Amino acid sequence: MPNEKVYDLRLKMVKKLVENGYIMSKHVEHAFLTIEREKFVNLAPEHAYKDVPLPIGYGQTSSAPHMVAIYLEQLELQSGLKILEIGTGSGYHLAVTACALDYLSGGEIHSIEINPFLLERAKRILSSYNFKTKISIHLGDGFYGLKEEAPFDRIYVTAALVEKPKMLYEQLKIGGILLYPYGIQGEPQLLIKAKRTQEGIKENEVIECSFVQLRRAGEEFRPS
């Protein structure tokens, strides 16, 4: 498909996200217009730019664009932030976040992926971009965070947790924000926004959501 037709599909998706109130900031809009989702989900553009979650193999999915937009807006991005992403997956969410940070003059993102096959694929695709934002991808169980790089200004989790992430709270700076889906896969879940203050953690429910469960150490990875 010619590049201009691909861009038209991307533009149409972004316009709808803006009209529906999911994208509210210029840096978020810029990121969605810039990053080619079809690269990350390995689908033809006419399928890649549907606002739906898409399978990426190993029982994992790439979140629907409107959900990625909700994350970026709720993270209250600013220049120079140090961010931790739990669950690299396809790398699309990471790419959009990095691009949005670039628009704001850059920052630093660490991402953890437990599946070595997804990690290598995401690294390969992300290497085709020249982000100002420093990106580091780590292999490991994201539930425990990344203590050696803590504290972080922002932490976000791209798969559902069934218990409160106390270790992630501890790795958040005072004034920092943590976003994570909470609940069991297949049952009602909530996107939780937590802020760490001098008095402790304050949580708010953002929206109902539906995510696959966060994969943990010891689980077998089978292509699907």
Catalytic residues: 63
Q: Which residue has the tokens 């003059």?
A: 105
The number of helices, as runs of H, and strands, as runs of E, in the chain is: 8, 9
User: Does the CA dihedral 158-180-176-66 come out positive or negative?
Assistant: positive
| CA 188 vs CA 74, 164, 182, 183, 202: distances in Å | 20, 16, 9, 7, 22
Would you give the distance in Å from CA 152 to the centre of its chain? Answer: 15
